[in-house]
A and B are shown apart, each in its own frame.
Chain A
Amino acid sequence: MLTIVVIYPTLMALNESLYGPKGLDPKTGFISNTEPFVGLKNYTDIFTQAGDRFWNAFWNTTLFTVVTVLLETVIGVAMALIMHKAFRGRAVVRASILVPWAIPTAISGLLWRWIFNADGIANVLVGQQVLWTADGFAAKIAVIIADVWKTAPFIGLLVLAGLQVIPKEVYEAARIDGASALRQFWHITLPLVKPALLVAVLFRCLDALRMFDLPYILIGAQKNSVETLSMLAQNEASNVRFGPASAYAVLLFLYVFLIALAFVRLLGADLVGDGGVRSGRERRTGRRGAVALRRAEVTA
């Protein structure tokens, strides 16, 4: 099973990335039927002719990942704390926080495009005319805002699941010891919720690295300021250059792989600490818990 869904396509892509685009025969005006074997040229090209576009996409991808995941983590944890608190109307607050996550990305892309329109509500709030969807710095901000809005609830959900398994006694003991709310958060909540939070952040990182639909729909194809590696690969493929497209996809694959690996090595000490099986199961139950929670909210 793993061979079919993982190894075979990966090897196919690796193989495809060694071929160049088909050439045009100037005499007949027809494209040749076979792709020329070019070896590693698709890869070395990123240091020469295709470099500008590749590195631009690479830095965009990295910037989006770092900024959105940071913001989402902070906001997501805050959301989880709010959702965890017992107060009147909690069900409504919980449900409304989950709405962005429930909307398909393509739809939220369209929604935000409308908000960021030249005469849209974003400009009314800002009080001046910012051309968000033009190809410029504002476009990056627009993508970041829309992505944070959409996926902060995801982190919120996973963290909430983590919060709910912390025993109340721990907080009672802390209160008796006279620990302030901030101290309690820093020394109890955060360490205990860390495994769930790390999993959430890792998932978001991997997700953000392959970001495609949001910038594509919100800003558009081939906008340098928001073009990510997935968009670059898609664009090459849609121009019938499957070789370079595969090369970019392979590089993105390696990038995602390395980030995941680094994550586990550097931050995942706890995850690995008490046996691989446990944390794998924990992650799954964490998600299941989150789903169950959402279901509960819907029925409530």
Chain B
Amino acid sequence: MTRTTRALQCSATLVAAGLLLTACGSSGGSGGSSGQNAQSTSFTGRGPITYVAGKDTTGTIQTIIDRWNKLHPKEKVTFIQLPTDADSQRQQMIQNAETKSDAYTVLSLDVVWTSEFAAHQWIDRLPDNAFPLQNMLKPVVETAKYRGGLYAVPGSSDGGLLYYRSDLLKKAGITSPPATWSEMTADCAKVKKLPEAKDMSCYAGQFQKYEGLTVNFSEAVNSAGGVVTDASGKPDVDTPQAKKGLDFLVDSFKDGTIPKEAITYQEEDGRQAFQSGKLVFLRNWPYVYALAQKSPIGGKFAVAPLPGLNGTGSSSLGGHNLALSSFAKNKATALDFMKFFSSEESASYFLKNASLAPPYTNLYDDASLDKQYPYLPVLKESILHAVPRPRVVQYGDVTSAIEKEAYAALSGSKSSSQALKDLQADLQKLTAQ
């Protein structure tokens, strides 16, 4: 073999080796026993720690941390900012855990990751009495638990809202927002008779094949009285109720209630469409409120709880929880910091300055806050009716199975009953271990 051949092979090897490195870089540290046991965790050690979360676009997190640092000069908290998208946050946290690094102390976990992180023993079980959980909304507290044990403390919550064009509804003679899907389509038909609404579409949510579809699919199923996984975590999605929920979305796509292009919508696409006056109704998160208020439709819209089959629907729960890395040092400091960071004062600060939905019940009932944030009472309704997404260890696989089948049904490549049947089989396999 000539030298060139070898040189070329080497370059090929390099290219591929680079890939292997990136694909498997984090595999080195696996194996071996951590010896961590939830019950025996002792929260000892004081000193500097870190707080790890996605990029802080509002600057509020740093403010709260500065406040802590001023009070605790010997137990300084350093804020480590991860990328904005949830997938890379999760990946970096997993890499940190797989290498048993003590670089991360307090983690800001998406609510759906709690089970996975707890089952891998990447985070410590927390003492139940350390936090004022009784003052928090119950569905929110549930997201912080795994098999009955508390593994995190709610930091912020989130629930879906139905945004609607109050000006157009009023013009069409409709006084209150729709509570059911059929009311929504009927209202829409009336609105579309108005000359200015002739070219509008009726409704949209997030239907692109990504996490948002899992959220919207679960909401449809739950709002029709079905479940994706039952109370004990077993999948039970091949039911007539679930079919009614999925059929609402499938039929809406077919008859044009949902515009065809909504199959590519993520949160922002839907917001743009609603703001530019293409939609009468939109399902989205509270963050849209402030932005839409500043858009051309500012003052012309309002929010309501999500509609369902026979009454108010059920939102999927969003939000973030604080958890403590099992491999961290200075856990006594960490626990104190978690108490401080998740306190009602902090939550109220985050609500006022970053419009993050607080986990505390009180804050929703505060009349002065309600005046400033008119969506708060509706958001509380939404969170109280909310259903967490499946709380399973292999959440990543479960959500992609849901996305795959829901997408197949919405794009018409599978009947809704076949999609649910296949989904049930997939989920059974994933939760069977």
B209 within 8 A of A: yes
Which segment of B71-79, B101-109, B392-400 sits at the interface?
B392-400
Q: A-B pairs with CB below 8 Å: how many?
A: 178
**A245 partner residues in chain B, CB cutoff 8 A:** 23-24, 27
- CB pair A242 B30 closer than 8 Å: yes
- CB pair A246 B7 closer than 8 Å: no
A271 within 8 A of B: yes
- CB pair A268 B4 closer than 8 Å: yes
- CB pair A12 B28 closer than 8 Å: yes
Which segment of A63-71, A83-91, A257-265 sits at the interface?
A257-265
B-side interface residues, number (CB < 8 Å): 59
Q: Which residue of A lies closest to B393 (CB)?
A: A24
- CB pair B9 A257 closer than 8 Å: yes
Instruction: Say which residue of A5, A16, A134, A276 sits within 8 Å of B24 (CB atoms).
Output: A16
**A197 partner residues in chain B, CB cutoff 8 A:** none
A192 within 8 A of B: no
A170 within 8 A of B: no
Interface string of A179-212 (1 = CB under 8 A from B): 0000000000000000000000010001100100
**A26 partner residues in chain B, CB cutoff 8 A:** 433
Q: Which residue of B lies closest to A207 (CB)?
A: B15
A222 within 8 A of B: yes
Bound form: Cα–Cα A9–B162 in Å: 51
The secondary-structure label for the interface of chain A is: helix
Interface string of A241-266 (1 = CB under 8 A from B): 01001101110110011011101110
Bound form: Cα–Cα A181–B14 in Å: 41
A299 within 8 A of B: no
Q: Provided the pairs A118-B264, A234-B23 are in contact, do residues A6 and B13 lie with their beta carbons within 8 angstroms? A: yes
Bound form: Cα–Cα A242–B11 in Å: 25
B120 within 8 A of A: yes
- CB pair B33 A33 closer than 8 Å: yes
Bound form: Cα–Cα A293–B8 in Å: 24
**A271 partner residues in chain B, CB cutoff 8 A:** 4
Interface string of B248-278 (1 = CB under 8 A from A): 0000000000001101100001000000000
Interface string of A15-46 (1 = CB under 8 A from B): 01000001110100111011100000000000
B175 within 8 A of A: no
**A246 partner residues in chain B, CB cutoff 8 A:** 20, 23-24, 27
What range describes how many residues of A lie at the interface?
35 or more
Bound form: Cα–Cα A261–B28 in Å: 30
Q: Which residue of A lies closest to B2 (CB)?
A: A276
- CB pair A242 B4 closer than 8 Å: no
Q: Which residue of A lies closest to B15 (CB)?
A: A206
A125 within 8 A of B: no
A129 within 8 A of B: yes
Query: Could you list 5 further interchain pairs (A-B, Cβ under 8 angstroms) beyond the known A29-B146, A275-B2?
Result: A33-B34, A220-B209, A220-B210, A238-B94, A249-B23
Residue contacts A-B, CB under 8 angstroms, 29 given:
A5-B17, A6-B10, A6-B13, A6-B14, A12-B20, A12-B24, A16-B27, A30-B121, A33-B34, A35-B31, A118-B264, A131-B261, A134-B209, A134-B264, A134-B411, A207-B15, A238-B87, A238-B91, A245-B27, A246-B20, A250-B20, A253-B16, A253-B19, A256-B16, A261-B5, A264-B5, A264-B8, A268-B4, A280-B4
A-side residues, CB < 8 A to B, are 2, 5-6, 9-10, 12-13, 16, 22-24, 26, 29-31, 33-35, 117-119, 129, 131-136, 202, 206-207, 210, 220-223, 230, 233-234, 237-240, 242, 245-246, 248-250, 252-253, 256-257, 259-261, 263-265, 268, 271-272, 275-277, 279-280
